[in-house]
């Protein structure tokens, strides 16, 4: 299966490079959202409160993640899915897409954070903890949204259904992420967030394991 995952992962990278307009569109969305926040808050209201800064950033992250992973299964043609069903195992498909989406979201998260900090300022006290939270949240979002994208694509209404299904699943994760990032912004001891980081990492692992187990049954339908 490792060889199949490697080939499928390379296929995802190749297609993304050929269709660079999709990635460019996501980057444009990030830059546009950051600029809109700057025009709405920093210019008109002066200094932005750290709590508002944090909330706005994770709102941007949430919608960027959904926008980036919507095309994960929705862009696959029906004939291509049948071809995959014949030549590769479904476990290799879900693993490769999850890994690719995790790398994509990590890249987009760092770009969002750098551009947001550059434009809106950076009130974070513990940058290491905030970055760790950012990267682990990208893993959690990728695992959750990849499986939701697969379910939505099978239902035949990818974009609409994914938006509806993803929010109830993402919200508990988002509450935990905001708690950790708030600790990083307040400069609390890193040890006080170890438990929450462990829970977030454990949730990510559970999501990956659930996707690995459930997707083969979904792939048969």
At residue 211, the pLDDT reads 85
Q: How far apart are CA 120 and CA 48, in angstroms?
A: 8
Taking a C-beta distance cutoff of 8 angstroms, is the pair 204, 143 a contact? Answer: yes
pLDDT of amino acid 76: 59
Q: pLDDT value at position 44?
A: 54
Contact between 100 and 9 under an 8 Å Cβ cutoff? The reply is yes
pLDDT in tens, 151-178: 877 766 656 677 777 777 788 888 889 8
34 class by beta-carbon count within 10 Å (0-12 exposed, 13-18 middle, 19+ buried): buried
Q: What is the pLDDT of residue 144?
A: 87
Q: Which of 166, 161, 204 is nearest to 74 (CA)?
A: 161
> Which residues of the chain register pLDDT less than 50?
none
pLDDT at 149: 82
What whole-number distance in Å separates Cα of residue 206 and Cα of residue 200? 10
- Identify the pLDDT of residue 157: 60
For the residues of 127-149, what is the DSSP string, one character each?
HHHHHHHHHHHHHHHHHHHHHHH
Question: What residue spans define the domains of the chain?
Answer: 2-220
b/e code 177-193 from CB counts within 10 Å (16+ = b): bbebbbbbbeeeeeeeb
Q: Provide the pLDDT for residue 113.
A: 92
Q: Are 8 and 90 in contact (CB under 8 A)?
A: no
Which of the 8 DSSP states describes residue 156?
Answer: T
CA distances from 64 to 54, 108, 169, 221 (A): 15, 8, 16, 29
* Direct distance between the N- and C-terminal alpha carbons of the chain, in angstroms, rounded to an integer: 21
Give the pLDDT confidence of 47-69 residue by residue, as tens digits. 678 888 888 899 889 888 888 88
């Amino acid at each position: 299966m490792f060889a199949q995952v490697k080939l499928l992962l390379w296929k995802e990278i190749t297609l993304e490079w050929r269709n660079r307009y999709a990635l460019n569109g996501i980057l444009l969305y990030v830059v546009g959202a950051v600029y809109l926040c700057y025009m709405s808050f920093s210019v008109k209201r002066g200094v932005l409160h750290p709590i508002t800064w944090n909330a706005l950033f994770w709102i941007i992250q949430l919608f960027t993640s959904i926008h980036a992973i919507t095309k994960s299964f929705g862009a696959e043609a029906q004939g291509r899915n049948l071809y995959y069903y014949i030549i590769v195992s479904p476990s290799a498909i879900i693993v490769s897409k999850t890994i690719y989406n995790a790398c994509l979201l990590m890249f987009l998260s760092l770009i969002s954070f750098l551009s947001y900090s550059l434009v809106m300022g950076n009130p974070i006290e513990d940058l290491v903890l905030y970055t760790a939270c950012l990267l682990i949240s990208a893993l959690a979002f990728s695992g959750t949204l990849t499986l939701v994208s697969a379910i939505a694509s099978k239902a035949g209404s990818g974009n609409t259904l994914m938006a509806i299904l993803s929010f109830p699943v993402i919200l508990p994760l988002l509450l935990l992420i905001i708690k950790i990032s708030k600790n990083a912004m307040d400069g609390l001891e890193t040890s006080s967030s170890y438990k929450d980081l462990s829970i977030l990492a454990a949730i990510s692992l559970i999501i990956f394991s659930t996707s690995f187990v459930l997707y083969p049954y979904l792939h048969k339908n």
